[in-house]
Structure formats: C-alpha cells, structure tokens
Amino acid sequence: MEVGFLGLGIMGKAMAVNLLRHGFGVTVWNRTLSKCQELMEQGASVGETPAAVINKCKYTIAMLSDPSAALSVVFDKDGVLEQICSGKGYVDMSTVDAETSSKISEAITKKGGYFLEAPVSGSKKPAEDGQLVILAAGEKALYDEMVPAFDVLGKKSFFLGEVGNGAKFKLVVNMIMGSMMNALSEGLCLADRSGLSQQTLLDVLDLGAIANPMFKLKGPAMIKGSYPPAFPLKHQQKDMRLALALGDENAVSMPIAAASNEAFKKARSLGLGDLDFSAVFEAVKSAKDSDSA
Amino acid sequence: MANCSVVNASICIRQRLLLPFSAVFSSSPLSMAMAMTSSSIYCRPRFPISPLRRLPRFPKSSSSFTTIASSQTSGDAGKGGEFPGRVGFLGLGIMGSPMAINLLKAGCDVTVWNRTKSKCNHLIDLGAKYEPSPAEVASSCDVTFAMLADPESAVDVACGTNGAVKGMGSGKGYVDVSTVDGATSKLISKHIRDTGASFLEAPVSGSKKPAEDGQLIFLTAGDASLYEIASPLLDIMGKSRFYLGEVGNGAAMKLVVNMIMGSMMASFSEGLLLSEKVGLDPNVLIEVISQGAISAPMFSVKGPSMVKATYPTAFPLKHQQKDLRLALGLAESVTQPIPVAAAANELYKVAKSYGLSDHDFSAVVEALRAKLQHSE
C-alpha cells in the first residue's frame, strides 16, 4: 500500500518509519525539508509540497502539531486542496478542535475527496512501537481502507462516527491526562515537603487502584528533574485549552481541568513549553520556592 | 516474619526487642539467637528471595526503612498460628468488618468491639470474642487494631471514656489503621505510649473489596518493634506493607495517595460528563482510556457504574472529602499550594451538599451537574 505522509515531527517521523518498515511505500513532506532526509535513507520518496504528495498518492496521512498547522497544510498555496480530488483520501491524525476538523472535512469533500479525522492517543514511544490508539471519525469507507495502515501504526483503532467525534474524544482523554499529571505533581511535591520519599510514593501508587502506565513511566524521571520530550508541554496545554473551549461551548463545569490548565500555562511562562508535559512538575514545585518571583 | 530466615552469612541481623510474647514466635535456635542479640543494627533487610518478593528500598531518612512484603493470600490455613497472641479489633465498619473476618479465618484469636453492638454479631458467629468497651478489649489482648472513620472517632476510641488507653500497658501494642491527620495520630500515639505500650499508625490504601480479599496496602509508621510483631497480621489482611519511620509519616503518605485519587476521580468525572454533553458515548471513553497510558483499575471498575448513575459504596464520599480536607491541611502546614486538589475538594463538598455523603466517592460526578437549591 502506498501512502503520503505530511509532517515529520516527533510523532510523524516515528509513524512514517513504522510504515516503511512494514513494507508500505511512503512519500513524505515536511515544512523543514531537511527532516525528510532520514526518511529518504529508509526508503521514502519526497514530495516538495503537500499538493505534490496528494497528486502522487491515493491516501495521504497528515500529522501536524496544532490547528493552525493542520489548516495551513490544507488551505495554503501548494496545499492539499490544490490536488485533492475524487478517489483520493485524506486522513488527518493531528489533534485539533472539532471545528478545525469540520472545516478541513468540508473543503476536502467539496472537491470530491474523502476525509477521515484520526487523532491518536499515545506519544513518542507508542508511535515508534506501533502501539497507538487511533480515534477515527468521518468517512467509514476510508476508515475501512486505512485499516492495514492503522494496524501497523496502532494497537487498536476505533471508528467513532461523524467528523468531530474523534477530535472530541482525543481532547477529553488528554484533558484527563493533563489533570492526572497535575495531581501526581502535587502529590510528589507534598510528599517531598512532608519529609516522605517520593520514590516510595510512586511505589505505593503502583500497587493500588490508581496505578497507571503514565505514573510508572514518568514518575522516576520527574523525581530526577528530567523531562525528555515525548509529548511537548505546549501541546498538552493546547489540548487542555481546546478541551476547556469544548466545555465552554456546552456549559459543562470543569474546575479541575481549569486549575490544571493554569499550571500548564505557568509552566509555559517559565519557558518549559518544549519539554515533556511532565515538566509541569517544575511549575507546581516553584509555587513554594521562597525566592521565586 | 516469625521465622526470620537468612539467605546467606552476609545478611545483617535484626534485633528482636524482647516483648513478652515475641519469644513465643521463635521456635528455631537461629531465631532464639537473634532474639538475644543486643546490638541494634538496622541494615538493609533482605528477606528470602522468592519470585513474588521485591527487594526493599532505602528510604529518605536514615533512621527508617521501607520494606515491601511478599504478596500473601488471605485465608491461608494456619497463618494465624504465626501470631499466637490475642488480637483486638475496634471498629467494624466497611473496612473493619472484612479485616477482622480475615484474621478470624486465618485462625487468630480475635476480640471485637463496635459502637453499634449489633455489627459484632456476624463476627461473634464466626468465633470472635466480644468486650463491651475499647478499654476491655485492649486489656484482654496483646495487639489491638482500631479502624475508625475519622480523627474524632479515632481519638474517642483511643482516649475517650473507657478508651483503649485505659486497657493498654507495657507489653501491649496498639495499631491504628484509621486514616487521620498527623496531629491526631501523634496525640493518640502519645497517650498510648504513656502507658508503656507500643504504637503503630498503619492507615491502608484500598477499599472494601481489597479489604475483603486481604489485598490492602499498609502505610505504617511508629514503633518498629510493633511493626515487626504485627507484620504477620498485616500480611493476613494485606498484600504489601511499608514502614515509613516516625509517627505522622504513615498518615501523611495515606493523605497524599488519597489526594491524588480524589483529584483523579474528579477529573475522570469531568471527562465522563463532557463526553455525554457533546454527544459521545461515555462507555467508549472508558474503553479508550483503558487502552492507553492513563489506564487505571479505578477507571475501569468505577466507570461503568458511574455512566449508569449508580454509586455502590466501596469508599464513602464523605471520607474522600475528609481525606482531601486533611491533605489540604497538611499542604498548608508545609506551605505547598495544591490548587487542583483544592478544586477537587470543592466538588466533593458540593456532592455532600447534594446528600451524597454515604454514596461511593465516584458520586462526585453528580456535583458537576448544576442543581438549583431551594432556599430554606
């Protein structure tokens, strides 16, 4: 199977490599063309523009960092819209708000193409290991045709109905994740300030009802003050913001998410946006430093 | 625990403090020799290695050590035989009742008391003895456990009229497995120790089902000697135990854990409600979560009933809110802002105001639904 791949960031690169390794023909594009080099070495072809990739491939996957990048790739000059047409499928796996997704879907289908949103749950390692959880919605026929690719990229995929549903599910999941990371950060701080061992706290957590892979994986590095970016904090904060907007639109009370979002904002203001989202721990910690501004 | 076997010669020897009934444990010459050791060397303990055991870790402070017991199933025949002393149990609520039952089933000699006497009947039917006050239970037992709902009852049962303190004395131990704040624990500890008895705070992580299944996690602190002696009993009721040093540390650890849990449940509630309001199937959300990095047993266990708006009580909401309140108090005492926990606490308070105190703490999801309150 041949696919186009737009966007070779933390996620896109790992996903494209995975497809190549499993025998897919892949044509890549990235805004910074140099990033395509490594993929070329692994057997990918390169498209000079998103339009060029669409022109070449029946199916194209996009993995961009936020709504504005996702829109840009579609609507800008040399973008997807210039070449999309009947018989071609566009699968946007970026995490965006439902409105952005709908906008893209409408434009694609107007030109005869078919569209699937398919944001993923999982960060760098699951992407490398093909263990993502794919939350697809939109054109069911396209979903069925993408299953071979999804089976390589992920451990499980869901078809969730109309465009917007995938985006919404992703935001809800990441909202909970962001709040959980804050709860863990507060717990680690409180343990430390109370004279307890933070590692012991992690050990206790791992034995009980609230044990989860994220705490187990991120906890030890957080204690060491190490935040290698698997999921950049600025993207987590973007997701919290979008989730809060979704709640806003529907008058849904979300005080925990709101409080968590504040911590992520603070972390960004401390310059931690490009670190892993677990770096919010530093923002929670700094709240008690006697010499903080 | 009673037979402290040694893997090889390089293992350090732990001192056994000579309490009256501890010598009864030691049937082997090695154990007897160990009991005689006068030097107190707390080096890195090494238990016999079996596939189920994990190595203990060094704690933060040098004066304490953290041990992790192997998992042992409750109901092991004859395990009560490792503790030939008499065990008291004060408080037979959601937690105390199954814990005491597990001790009985393991063959322990158990004497119970509960404020509402009728709650003791089931235990008496299973062979427990009964005494009409905490003081009388304590005086007739070697180690007495207390499992009360909150700081007030814990203090009352220990130090009130006919409280346990009146029956304690040298050679006896009091193990408070209630969840309270550090100050309460220290107060009870002082009164107990003033009688010459030993004290161990040992709040648990785990609710009704883990209590029934003997799968609790004990977060202990206080007299290390009592920890040693009580460990076979903890192993009957639980799957692992930690010793965290001085009184207050167990209480603090429990509060931190429950603070995280309370915040997680509140966030999960937001997610379920948001899904519902934007036209997504909350059951699918639960399934998606179970596949990913934030998959936790609590979500898969509680989620489905929350979606159906049923909240069978495993951990009463009022107790979760109590724990958050105490955690906020702890945080204030060390000047640590915890805004997410504070927001969660508010939600539990709202839930209480809706009359949901005795429901499971997962009922907090109802607090997110606005309700008009009629003015009095």
Q: What is the CATH number of the domain that holds A70?
A: 3.40.50.720
**How many angstroms separate the CA of residue A164 from the nearest CA in chain B?**
10
Residues A180, A264: contact at Cβ < 8 Å? Answer: no
Q: Are residues B277 and B179 in the same domain?
A: no
Give chain B positions within 8 Å (CB) of A199.
Answer: 57
Q: Examine the pLDDT at B35 and tell me if it is beyond 70.
A: no
Q: Are residues A39 and A149 in the same domain?
A: yes
Of B295, B297, B338, the CB nearest to A190: B338
pLDDT of amino acid B29: 43
Task: Say whether B274 and A252 touch across the interface (CB within 8 A).
Answer: yes
B213 located within any domain: yes
Structure tokens at A111: 């030109």
Percent of chain A with pLDDT over 90: 97
Task: Say whether B275 and A179 touch across the interface (CB within 8 A).
Answer: no
Of A194, A199, A287, the CB nearest to B337: A287
Of B212, B245, B278, the residue that ends a domain is B245
The band of B106, judged by pLDDT with boundaries at 50, 70 and 90, is very high
Structure tokens at B13: 């020897």
Q: pLDDT tens-digit profile of B124-151?
A: 999 999 999 999 999 999 999 999 999 9
Q: Judge whether B334 is closer than 8 Å to chain A, CB to CB.
A: yes
B49 located within any domain: no
pLDDT of amino acid B111: 98
pLDDT of amino acid B15: 34
**How many angstroms separate the CA of residue A43 from the nearest CA in chain B?**
31
Q: What is the distance, to the nearest Å, from the Cα of residue B357 to the centroid of all Cα atoms in its chain?
A: 21
Q: Judge whether A133 is closer than 8 Å to chain B, CB to CB.
A: yes
B21 located within any domain: no
A-to-B residue pairs, Cβ atoms closer than 8 angstroms:
233
Report the alpha-carbon distance of residue A11 to residue A17 in Å, rounded. Answer: 10
pLDDT of amino acid A288: 56
Q: Judge whether A83 is closer than 8 Å to chain B, CB to CB.
A: no
**How many angstroms separate the CA of residue B193 from the nearest CA in chain A?**
23
B295 located within any domain: yes
Of B206, B260, B370, the CB nearest to A187: B260
Task: Say whether A250 and B277 touch across the interface (CB within 8 A).
Answer: yes
Task: For residue B94, give the H/E element and its range.
Answer: none
Q: Judge whether B294 is closer than 8 Å to chain A, CB to CB.
A: yes
Residues B135, B167: contact at Cβ < 8 Å? Answer: yes
pLDDT of amino acid B84: 79
Report the alpha-carbon distance of residue B251 to residue B154 in Å, rounded. Answer: 13
Q: What is the distance, to the nearest Å, from the Cα of residue B283 to the centroid of all Cα atoms in its chain?
A: 32
Q: Examine the pLDDT at B52 and tell me if it is beyond 50.
A: no
The band of B80, judged by pLDDT with boundaries at 50, 70 and 90, is low
Give chain B positions within 8 Å (CB) of A177.
Answer: 293-294
Q: Judge whether B55 is closer than 8 Å to chain A, CB to CB.
A: no
Of A200, A252, A255, the CB nearest to B346: A255
pLDDT of amino acid B348: 98
Residue A137 DSSP class: E
Our count of domains for chain A comes to 2
Of B79, B186, B208, B254, the active-site residue reads B254
Q: Are residues A40 and A143 in the same domain?
A: yes
- Poorest-pLDDT segment among A252-261, B52-61, B170-179, B197-206: B52-61
Q: Are residues A153 and A56 in the same domain?
A: yes
Q: Are residues A144 and A204 in the same domain?
A: no
Residue B164 DSSP class: G
Question: The domain containing residue A189 runs over which residues?
Answer: 168-292
**How many angstroms separate the CA of residue B147 from the nearest CA in chain A?**
20
Question: The domain containing residue B348 runs over which residues?
Answer: 252-375
Our count of domains for chain B comes to 2
Q: pLDDT tens-digit profile of A208-251?
A: 999 999 999 999 999 999 999 999 999 999 999 999 999 999 99
B10 located within any domain: no
Q: What is the CATH number of the domain that holds A177?
A: 1.10.1040.10
For B154-161, what is the mean pLDDT? 98
Of B229, B245, B261, the residue that ends a domain is B245
Q: Are residues B93 and B214 in the same domain?
A: yes
Report the alpha-carbon distance of residue B113 to residue B106 in Å, rounded. Answer: 19
B5 located within any domain: no
Helix, strand, coil shares of chain B, percent, nearest 5, are: 45, 10, 40
pLDDT of amino acid A289: 52
Give chain B positions within 8 Å (CB) of A183.
Answer: 259-260, 263-264, 267, 340-341
Q: What is the CATH number of the domain that holds B278?
A: 1.10.1040.10
Task: Say whether B252 and A194 touch across the interface (CB within 8 A).
Answer: yes
Q: Examine the pLDDT at A82 and tell me if it is beyond 60.
A: yes
ipTM: 0.92
Q: Judge whether B283 is closer than 8 Å to chain A, CB to CB.
A: no
Q: Are residues A29 and A151 in the same domain?
A: yes
pLDDT of amino acid B300: 98
The reported pTM is: 0.85
Task: Say whether B252 and A191 touch across the interface (CB within 8 A).
Answer: yes
Residues B303, A276: contact at Cβ < 8 Å? Answer: no
Window 173-192 of A, Cβ < 8 Å to B: 173, 175-177, 179-180, 182-184, 186-187, 189-191
B368 located within any domain: yes
Of B213, B245, B277, the residue that ends a domain is B245
Of A104, A134, A162, the residue that ends a domain is A162
Give chain B positions within 8 Å (CB) of A284.
Answer: 337
DSSP strand E in B164-230: where?
Answer: 173-176, 198-201, 204-205, 216-222
Q: Are residues B85 and B174 in the same domain?
A: yes
Nearest residue in B to A193, CA atom: B334
Task: Say whether A179 and B274 touch across the interface (CB within 8 A).
Answer: no
B38 located within any domain: no
How high does pLDDT run on average in chain B?
84
Q: Examine the pLDDT at B321 and tell me if it is beyond 80.
A: yes
Which has more confidence, B276 or B6? B276
Q: Name the 3-class secondary structure at B123.
A: helix
Of A147, A162, A177, the residue that ends a domain is A162
pLDDT of amino acid A184: 98
DSSP strand E in chain A: where?
Answer: 2-6, 25-29, 45-46, 59-62, 89-92, 114-117, 120-121, 132-138, 154-159
Q: Judge whether B217 is closer than 8 Å to chain A, CB to CB.
A: yes
Q: pLDDT tens-digit profile of B288-309?
A: 999 999 999 999 999 999 999 9
Of A116, A143, A162, the residue that ends a domain is A162
Helix axes A98-110, A165-193, angle to 10 degrees: 150
Nearest residue in B to A215, CA atom: B294
Q: Are residues B104 and B223 in the same domain?
A: yes
Q: Are residues A151 and A174 in the same domain?
A: no
Report the alpha-carbon distance of residue B26 to residue A93 in Å, rounded. Answer: 65
Task: Say whether A209 and B261 touch across the interface (CB within 8 A).
Answer: yes
Task: For residue B129, give the H/E element and its range.
Answer: strand B129-130
